[in-house]
Amino acid sequence: MLRFRSDCLILAVVLLSGATACGSDDSSTTVPLISDAGRMAEEPAIVVSPLGPVTLITHDSFLVSEGTLASFTAQTGIEVIHQTGGDTGQLVSSAILTAGNPLGDVMFGVDNTFLQRSLDAGLFESYKSPALSGVPSELQLDPEYRVTPIDFGDVCVNYWIDRFGDDLVAPSSLDDLIDPAYADLMVVQNPETSSPGLAFLLATIHEYGDLWEDYWGALRNNGVLVTAGWEDAYYGEFVAGGGDRSIVVSYASSPPAEVIYADPPVDTPPTGVVTGTCFRQIEFAGILAGTKHRAAAELLIDFLLTPTFQEDIPLNMFVFPALAAAELPQIFEDFVELAEDPHLLNPAEIEAHRNDWTERWTEIVLR
Amino acid sequence: MRRIGATVAVAFPAAFLGVFFLYPIGAILFRGLGAEGLTRLIELLKKPSFWDVAWFTLWQAAASTVLTLAVALPGAHLLARRQFRGRSLLRAAATVPFVLPTVAVGGAFLALFERLGLADGPLHLTRTAGAVLIAHVFFNVAVVLRTVGSFWEGLDPRASEQARVLGASPVQAFRWVTWPQLWPAVAAASSIVFLFCFTSFGVVLILGGPTRATLETEVWRHAVFRGDLASATALAMVQLAAVVAIVMVTNRLQYRRAVVQQPVRRIAPPRASLRLLAANLGLLATVLGLPIVVLVERSLTRGRSGGGWGDWTFDHYGALASRSVLLPASALRALGNSLLFALVATGLAVLVGGLASLVVVHGRRALGRAFDLGLMLPLGASAVTLGFGMLIALDEPPVDFRSSKWLVPVAHALIGVPFVMRTVVPTLRSIDVQLREAAATLGATSVRTRREIDLPIAARALAVGAGFSFAVSLGEFGATSFLPRHPDQLTAPLALFRLLAQPGDALRGQAMALAVLLMLLTAASVLAIEGWGRRGAVRGDL
């Protein structure tokens, strides 16, 4: 039996009521994207559609300019509730765990390395958007249209331009990287813990086939350094963060980012891309099975392929629009060199072998 | 009345733990076990690589705890037994490392090793277990410094002074008089530090190098990267079983003794000698100060990329006010969100932890022990397990709580409650019985006794625990990242992580500036919370 006194009780009750008051306030979780009073005033004619609202769930890297999603609402009357849920791996795992009672109606952000896993789990409902006609067929990986390609980006070997010159020219191929001339210069990410790390491993598997293990043995002998994630490779070991390594696995869009976020400003990027090393990552959106807003979800998928949304992608997410007709920002035109024939593997093959591949990789490179 | 009070004190923490921890964890483990988790568990136990991971997890946590105690106990003595200028500032400043996101601190340590010539060579620290231990000391010194320090302050110094008068050396007096009294608080602090290091994630990945893994990083790798829920569940079960065993052992150690505590010291402690002060502050400045200096320096310079020192600038701070291209809300707004979440989380943690502490100390023994064990577990459960567990468990009608923004502070409060309990329970347990009897003899009613003696003393401990919950919430990354949220509800650690996800010096400068603001916010909040706790204590002085 507890020996309690009334003042403790009063204290408890006061605190308790305060806490429940906070706990039960659920209203602010469904903030519409156009909560901005100013914008509402500019476009007073929005008629709320009975189809919505539609919930868009994305990874944390999803970003659009202010007003982009609002223009969808202005056109359709459907409110978009945007929710983010971790990185791509977290997003896909969460979606699989909540399959049948999904966290949203449309999911954006599954890429070709995770695609098969999400298809196997039956996450998506088929929908063939009419806008797909403007998307190159090599980006359309699912013949059943359960997912729609929205953007793509390349994971490529980057190098610090100043560190190369007449004495040692910058590497130009995967083969170069095992040349002793480039010994101890490269840093890569662990494919067991990093998505660019996995993409680079897949690039080497695509290039060398069954001989990929020998290639990595040679890379190891050439002093390749491994970090857990992109941040510690790029900012910890690469020259950009004050480190010693002048070759790093990063993105095709890293050079323009180095210009846009330079401090102090620069005219040209300090880094270059080895285009022969690029692995193509394609990001998809799909309608989550179990949605109660199927019609609105279809309209949202269509919207993601409009020029309005597509041309907003590069400077927000640093990837490239899937829509062939979408115009790239000038800085991408200037400083991005896209691989003409990037490395790409079939999603089913990736899913079937990735755990074996990464385990073998660990034995070859880390043990 | 008494019965109702008692029922609330038991029911509220029990419901909180049940709904937000046991049920989600149970649901995810059940799901994982259904998917061949049991077979995987048996396979797992046969693998030598699993035992390597388990062994590393265990020994690094034990070594980190011992090292943290070694660095922090002299400082705790200084804070408890000596007077010097800037005492409360030091207490607050020591909490700062606690909230720093590992991705920022990891980078600072790597830069520091580089600068001190420890990046390579025979004494290199980069990508070693040593680097992991040093970083764990950095993050956890505050736990020992403050929980032990605050308890030590409440001990009557006269006992050890009498021993000195009777001819004991300072070491003897400490060994035979102070240490036995201090032990419950040391055990409590150690158990927290141990659990934190046992479930270490970012530090191990960034500083330990690619070959080192803890059970926590393995759970994450299997669940998120490999999509292998069965193996992740098997690993999570091993981790949880180990945590239960650890908490049961450390709890037993704390039950051994109840120690006399006074409301506030009546004799002003001596001033710290210059030598003592210099030795202590020197040690703390090295361990805590250097990485922070690197962060501050980075937040104030530009043009460092490609080597060199760069120029001084305040621009990174200015940039935080506007909506950065990479963030859905401005970094300042993210700080505001963090502050709001921390307030709610701390309120919840103080309420749940405070009530549970009363049950532990005054309630039925079995019930108390169950609370003491159960409410400690969230500290040792993996963020992945909890995050995914909440997603699959809290989706039932009438309320789909999964997407509520209040789930974030609830998750934070789960981690804050152990701090409240670990500071309040030893204090409540040791409140001087004599003091209370004396009060009764002098005619005070029992209600008055409790209000005027127990509450003020408990308030001091409660404030320390609240300060920690606040700091935990401000810095939490793992569980938060698993919970779905509206992009505007970005927290500061998540914003910092986003800023570091693209190349560009400006972004990195902003990330460092955000880390510095987060530190300042923490120090200021802890100062304020403890100031409140101390005023409470003084008011209650008899």
> Are β-strands A106-111 and A271-288 bridged in parallel, bridged antiparallel, or unpaired?
antiparallel
Do residues A140 and A210 both lie within one domain?
Answer: no
Are A188 and A119 members of one domain? no
CB A131 within 8 A of CB A306: yes
* Beta-bridge partners for A108: A58, A285
A67 in a structural domain = yes
Please name the residues in contact with B322: beta carbons below 8 A apart, sequence gap of 6 or more. B330
Which tens digit of pLDDT belongs to each residue from A341-357?
Answer: 999 999 999 999 999 99
B312: helix, strand or coil: strand
pLDDT at residue number B262: 59
Contact B303 A254 (CB under 8 A): no
Residues A66 and A168 in one domain: no
Do residues A58 and A118 share a domain?
Answer: yes
What pLDDT, on the 0 to 100 scale, is given for residue B261? 63
3-state SS assignment for residue A275: strand
pLDDT tens, B323-343? 666 787 888 889 999 999 999
B50 touches A at CB < 8 Å: no
For position A91, which CATH number holds? 3.40.190.10
Residues of B whose CB is below 8 A from A193: 205, 210, 217, 221, 225
Helix (H, G, I), strand (E, B) or coil at A89: helix
Question: What is the Cα–Cα distance from B525 to B507, expressed in whole angstroms?
Answer: 27
**E strand or H helix that includes residue B410:** helix B407-430
Domain assignment present for residue A336? The answer is no
What domains are defined for chain B?
2-257+272-311+319-539 (1.10.3720.10)
> Among A97-101, A309-313, A332-336, which is the least confidently predicted range?
A97-101
Please give the residue of chain A at the shortest CA–CA distance from B354: A12
Decide if B393 contacts B23 (C-beta within 8 A).
Answer: yes
Tokens of residue B262, six digits: 């006074």
- A36 in a domain, yes or no? no
Residue A35 covered by a domain: no
Q: What is the reported pLDDT for B323?
A: 67
pLDDT tens digits, one per residue of B506-526: 888 888 899 899 888 888 888
Average pLDDT over residues A280-286: 97
- How is chain A split among helix, strand and coil, in percent rounded to 5? 45, 20, 40
Query: pLDDT, tens digit, for every residue of A216-243?
Result: 999 999 999 999 889 889 988 899 887 8
Residue A180 sits in the same domain as residue A303? no
Same domain, A238 and A315: no
Look up tokens 């002074």; give the residue.
B161
Give me chain B's average pLDDT, please: 83
Q: Which of B20, B200, B305 to mutate to test the interface with A (most CBs of A within 10 A)?
A: B305
Question: Are A350 and A225 in the same domain?
Answer: yes
Q: Do A266 and A287 sit in the same domain of this protein?
A: no
Statement to judge: residues A267 and A286 lie in one domain: no
Is A337 strand, coil or helix?
coil
The stretch B125-135 carries a mean pLDDT of: 89
Whole-model pTM? 0.86
Q: Are residues A62 and A205 in the same domain?
A: no
Q: How many separate domains does chain A show? A: 2
Nearest to B216, CA basis, from B479, B484, B408 = B479
Confidence of residue B253 (pLDDT cuts 50, 70, 90): confident
Q: Which residue from A minimizes the CA distance to B28? A: A97
The answer as to whether A334 is a domain residue is: no
Q: What is the pLDDT of residue B255?
A: 67
pLDDT in tens, A165-184: 999 999 999 999 999 999 99
CB contact under 8 A, B107 and A240: no
Asked, for residue A328, whether it belongs to a domain, the answer is: no
Q: Are residues A198 and A247 in the same domain?
A: yes
Residue among B12, B327, B447 minimizing CB distance to A16: B12
- What would the two tokens of residue B338 be? 């963090």
Please answer yes or no on whether A190 and B210 come within 8 Å at the CB atom: yes
Q: What single DSSP character describes residue A154?
A: E
Q: State which H helix or E strand residue B241 sits in.
A: helix B229-255
CA–CA distance, B481 with B384 (Å, rounded to integer): 9
Amino acid of residue B52: D
Tokens read off for B460: 């001091």
Q: Which residues are CB-neighbours of B327 under 8 A, at least 6 positions away?
A: A63, B334, B490, B495, B498, B499
Tell me if B449 sits within 8 A of B263, measured CB to CB: no
Sequence-ordered alpha helix ranges (H) in chain A: 6-23, 37-42, 68-76, 88-97, 115-120, 195-208, 212-221, 230-231, 254-260, 294-304, 307-310, 313-317, 330-335, 347-365
Residue of chain B nearest A250, judged by CA positions: B503
Tell me the pLDDT tens digit for each residue of B475-517: 888 888 888 788 888 888 888 888 888 888 888 888 889 989 9
The phi, psi pair for B228, rounded to 5°, reads -105, 80
User: What pLDDT is attached to residue B308?
Assistant: 54
In this structure, chain A runs to a length of 367
* Pick from A4, A29, A92: CB nearest B403: A29
The percent of chain B in helix, strand and coil, each rounded to the nearest 5, is 75, 0, 20
CA B496/CA B514 separation, integer angstroms: 7
Residues A80/A105, Cβ–Cβ less than 8 Å: no
Nearest to B392 among A6, A98, A242 (CB): A98
Q: Which amino acid is at A250?
A: S
Q: Is residue A6 part of a domain?
A: no
Task: With CA atoms as reference, report the closest residue to B530 among B16, B54, B79.
Answer: B79
On the question of pLDDT at A75 being above 50, the answer is yes
Domain assignment of residue A164, given as a range = 154-280+342-365
| Side-chain half-sphere CA neighbours of A238 within 13 A | 29
Is residue A38 in some structural domain?
no
When comparing pLDDT for A150 and B100, which is higher? Answer: A150
pLDDT per residue as tens digits for the range B160-169: 888 888 888 8
Residue A37 binned pLDDT confidence (cut-offs 50, 70, 90): very low
Does B232 contact A at CB distance below 8 Å? no
Q: Decide if B405 and A29 are in contact by the 8 Å CB cutoff.
A: yes
A194/A71 same-domain check? no
